[in-house]
C-alpha cells in the first residue's frame, strides 16, 4: 500500500493497493509524479491525483534514479550479478552498464555538466571505497621530460618508467646488461599481442599487467564476493574476468582493433570476445601484497574468404587498446611483445615494440616437411608414433607377466594327487544252507584226449620230434587263451561266503546275512 502526504502533513491520496513488494520509491524531478520499483512488475508510475502512468519494464530493481531531462534511468540490480544500468526511457532499451565483481549495498553517482554519468562510487564488504570512472587522469600527463615507455608521463613523475607493470621501487631483479632495471622492461609483464591464425580465423589476444597496489586491492574485493572465506576460488576469479568484458563496449573495441590489423586481400569480422585472468588470483594468500594480476582480452575474427597462409603479409599499427570502459587504462600499454603463430606456419615475434615505431610487418612461411619431422613436439603428436608407443608398452607388460608367471612356476612345487575313489557295493544275501560254501573256481584247461594206437598194417615208423618253433607257438596260443578266460572271469563280481566253524556252537538252520563286496571297474583298472 502507498500513502502520500504534503509538506503540511495533509493526505494527498489516501492509498494505492499493490499486489507485490516495493523495493524502492522516488519522486519525479518536477514533483509531478512518483514511482516505485517492484520485483516482478517493473517500475510503476502514478500522478499525485492517482492516475497510473506507463510503467518501465525493468524487474528486480533495488534502487533507481530518474533523469527526466535525458529520459534516462539509473537502476541498481543484483541479478545475475551486481550492476548498475543506464536505461533509455524513450526508446525502452539499455544503453550502458557498470558491472561489479564485489558486493555492494550503497552507491553515489557523479554526473557531468550534461547530466551524464562520469563517476560512480560504491561501498564494499571490505575497507575499500570503489571508484568507477569513464576516464582516468594520470599525474604528470603531457609534462616535458624523458619518457622511456612512451605513456606521456616523464620518468621523473612516472612510477613505472619502463612500462612493464613493476613499480620502479620494486623493479630490482633483472639481467645485468649494464642498464638500470627501472628502464629495462621485463618481457614477461609488458603488454603482449599474440596473433594466432589459420586459413579461416584470426585470434588476437592482448595481455596486460596490473601493478602491485591495484592487484592487491582487487584480490581483497574478490575474496568475499561469493562467500565469507578468504580463499580466492576459481569462481570468484571468473566473476572478475566476466566484469572486465561486461564493462567494455565490445562492438566498438572489436571494430577498433580490426582497423589496426591489415591482412592482404581480405577483411575480418568479429565473432568472439572473451576475458581471462591468467595469473595472480586463484588460491593466492590473503597477505600477498606483491603478486601481479595478469589478464587477457581475446578477440576472435573470421576472414571473409579462406586464405592461403604461405607468404601471407600481416601489418599491425601501433595503438593503445581503446578505453570505452576498459580496465586496461590501469595497465601500461607500451612497450609491446608481438608474436605471430599458427598450425603449420613458422612462429615469429617482435620485441620490444616501442610507441615511436608506427607499425610492424610479418610475412608468414609454412613449416617445411623435414623441419616438421625433426621437431620433437610434432613427432610426439603424430598418431603413428603414439600408436607404436602404445603397442610397445602393451607388449612390454605382456612379456613381464609371462616371465613372472614362468619364474613363479619354477620356484614352486606343484603336487597333484590323483585319488581314485573305490566304490564298494555291499550286497546281503540269505543262505539257507549254512554248511554249503559257494566257490567260483577258474575253469580248468581241457585235456587233450589220448589217442589210441590202432594197429596198422603199415610199416611202423618212429615218432616225429616236435621242434622249438612249434613249442613257442603252442605256448603263445595257450597264454592268449588263459588271459581271455581270466579277463572274462574278472568282469563278473566275485562273491565269497565265509563262516566260522566251531564245534562248541550248535549249528543253526536260520539263514544268515553275508556281506558281498562288489569291486568296481575303476578299482580293477587301478590294480
Tens-digit pLDDT profile for residues 180-215: 888 889 999 999 999 999 999 999 999 999 999 999
What is the chain's mean pLDDT, rounded?
80
Distance CA 71, CA 110 (A): 17
Q: How much is the average pLDDT of 122-150?
A: 86
Q: How much is the average pLDDT of 206-235?
A: 88
Name the residue with higher pLDDT: 230 or 341: 341
Model pLDDT, residue 462: 46
Range with the poorest average pLDDT among 19-23, 88-92, 509-513, 523-527: 523-527
Where do the domains of the chain lie?
Answer: 2-133, 135-186, 191-383
Model pLDDT, residue 421: 46
Distance CA 253, CA 244 (A): 13
Q: Would the pLDDT of 446 be above 60? A: no
21, 23, 40, 72, 110 from 56: Cα distances, Å: 16, 14, 11, 11, 23
Contact 146, 190 (CB under 8 A): no
Q: How many CA atoms lie within 13 A of 9 on its CB side?
A: 0
Q: How much is the average pLDDT of 225-250?
A: 88
Name the residue with higher pLDDT: 14 or 51: 51
Q: Helices H, strands E: what count in the chain?
A: 8, 24
Greatest Cα pair distance, the chain, in angstroms, is 186
Which segment, 178-187, 321-330, 421-430, 488-497, is predicted with the most confidence on average? Answer: 178-187
Percent of the chain scoring above 70 in pLDDT? 76
Q: Would the pLDDT of 420 be above 60? A: no
Q: How much is the average pLDDT of 290-303?
A: 95
Model pLDDT, residue 488: 60
Please, what is the end-to-end C-alpha distance for the chain in angstroms? Answer: 113
Q: How much is the average pLDDT of 153-167?
A: 89
Model pLDDT, residue 175: 80
Query: Which class does domain 2-133 fall in?
Result: mainly beta
- Strands 34-37 and 43-46, bridge-based pairing: antiparallel
Query: What's the chain's Rg over C-alpha atoms?
Result: 54
Percent of the chain scoring above 90 in pLDDT? 34
User: Considering the entire predicted model, what is its pTM?
Assistant: 0.66
Which residue reads 554248511 in cell numbers?
435
85: left (phi over 0), alpha (psi -120 to 50) or beta: beta
Task: Judge residue 483's burial from the number of C-beta atoms within 10 Å of its C-beta, 0-12 exposed, 13-18 middle, 19 or more buried.
Answer: exposed
Q: Would the pLDDT of 317 be above 90? A: yes
pLDDT tens-digit series, residues 343-369 = 899 999 999 999 889 999 999 999 886
85, 283, 362 from 341: Cα distances, Å: 39, 31, 11
Contact 88, 75 (CB under 8 A): no
Range with the poorest average pLDDT among 55-59, 199-203, 258-262, 505-509: 505-509
Q: Would the pLDDT of 522 be above 80? A: no
Q: How much is the average pLDDT of 238-247?
A: 93
Q: DSSP string spanning 233-245?
A: -HHHHHHHHHHHH
Q: How much is the average pLDDT of 91-109?
A: 91
Q: How much is the average pLDDT of 475-500?
A: 64
Name the residue with higher pLDDT: 392 or 469: 392
Going by C-alpha positions, the residue among 190, 296, 181 that lies closest to residue 244 is 296
Q: What are phi and psi of 137, to 5 degrees?
A: -95, 130
Q: Would the pLDDT of 387 be above 50? A: yes
Residues with Cβ within 8 Å of residue 370, at least 6 apart in sequence:
none
Range with the poorest average pLDDT among 29-43, 209-223, 271-285, 293-307: 29-43
Amino acid at each position: 500500500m502507498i500513502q502520500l502526504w504534503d509538506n503540511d502533513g495533509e493526505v494527498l491520496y489516501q492509498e494505492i493497493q499493490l499486489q507485490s513488494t516495493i523495493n524502492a520509491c522516488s519522486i519525479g524531478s518536477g514533483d509531478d509524479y512518483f514511482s516505485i520499483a517492484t520485483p516482478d512488475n517493473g517500475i510503476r508510475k502514478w500522478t499525485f491525483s492517482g492516475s497510473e502512468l506507463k510503467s518501465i519494464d525493468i524487474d528486480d530493481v533495488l534502487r533507481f534514479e530518474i533523469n527526466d531531462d535525458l529520459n534516462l534511468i539509473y537502476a541498481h540490480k543484483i541479478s545475475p550479478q551486481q550492476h548498475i544500468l543506464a536505461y533509455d526511457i524513450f526508446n525502452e532499451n539499455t544503453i550502458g552498464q557498470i558491472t561489479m565483481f564485489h558486493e555492494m549495498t550503497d552507491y553515489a553517482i557523479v554526473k557531468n555538466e550534461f547530466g551524464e554519468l562520469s563517476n560512480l562510487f560504491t561501498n564494499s564488504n571490505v575497507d575499500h571505497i570503489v571508484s568507477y570512472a569513464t576516464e582516468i587522469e594520470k599525474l604528470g600527463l603531457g609534462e616535458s621530460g624523458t619518457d622511456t615507455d612512451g605513456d606521456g608521463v616523464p620518468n621523473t613523475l612516472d612510477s613505472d618508467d619502463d612500462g612493464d607493470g613493476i613499480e620502479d621501487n620494486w623493479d630490482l631483479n633483472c639481467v645485468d646488461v649494464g642498464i638500470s632495471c627501472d628502464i629495462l622492461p621485463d618481457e614477461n609483464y609488458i603488454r603482449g599481442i599474440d596473433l594466432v591464425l589459420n586459413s579461416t580465423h584470426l585470434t588476437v589476444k592482448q595481455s596486460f599487467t596490473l601493478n602491485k597496489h591495484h592487484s592487491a586491492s582487487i584480490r581483497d574485493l574478490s575474496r568475499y564476493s561469493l562467500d565469507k572465506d578468504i580463499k580466492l576460488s576459481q569462481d570468484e576469479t571468473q566473476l572478475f574476468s566476466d566484469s572486465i568484458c561486461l564493462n567494455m563496449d565490445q562492438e566498438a573495441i572489436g571494430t577498433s582493433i580490426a582497423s589496426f590489423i591489415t591482412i592482404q586481400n581480405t577483411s575480418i569480422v568479429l565473432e568472439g570476445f572473451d576475458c581471462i585472468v591468467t595469473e595472480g588470483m586463484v588460491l593466492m594468500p590473503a597477505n600477498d601484497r606483491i603478486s601481479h594480476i595478469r589478464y587477457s582480452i581475446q578477440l576472435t575474427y573470421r576472414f571473409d574468404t579462406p586464405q592461403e597462409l604461405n607468404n601471407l603479409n600481416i601489418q599491425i599499427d601501433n595503438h593503445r587498446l581503446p578505453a570505452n570502459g576498459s580496465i586496461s587504462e590501469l595497465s601500461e600499454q607500451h612497450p609491446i611483445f608481438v608474436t605471430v603463430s599458427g598450425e603449420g606456419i613458422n612462429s615469429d615475434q617482435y620485441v620490444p615494440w616501442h610507441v615511436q615505431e608506427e607499425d610492424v610487418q610479418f610475412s608468414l612461411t609454412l613449416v617445411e616437411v623435414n623441419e616438421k619431422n625433426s621437431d620433437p613436439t610434432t613427432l610426439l603428436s603424430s598418431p603413428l608414433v603414439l600408436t607404436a608407443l602404445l603397442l610397445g608398452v602393451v607388449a612390454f607388460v605382456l612379456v613381464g607377466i609371462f616371465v613372472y608367471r614362468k619364474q613363479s612356476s619354477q620356484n614352486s612345487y606343484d603336487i597333484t594327487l590323483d585319488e581314485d575313489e573305490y566304490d564298494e557295493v555291499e550286497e546281503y544275501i540269505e543262505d539257507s544252507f549254512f554248511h554249503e560254501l559257494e566257490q567260483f573256481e577258474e575253469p580248468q584247461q581241457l585235456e587233450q584226449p589220448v589217442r589210441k594206437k590202432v594197429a596198422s598194417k603199415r610199416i611202423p615208423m618212429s615218432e616225429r620230434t616236435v621242434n622249438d618253433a612249434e613249442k613257442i607257438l603252442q605256448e603263445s596260443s595257450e597264454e592268449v587263451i588263459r588271459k581271455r578266460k581270466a579277463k572274462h572271469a574278472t568282469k563278473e563280481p566275485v562273491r565269497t561266503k565265509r563262516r566260522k566253524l566251531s564245534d562248541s556252537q550248535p549249528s543253526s538252520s536260520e539263514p544268515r546275512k553275508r556281506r558281498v563286496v562288489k569291486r568296481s571297474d575303476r578299482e580293477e583298472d587301478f590294480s
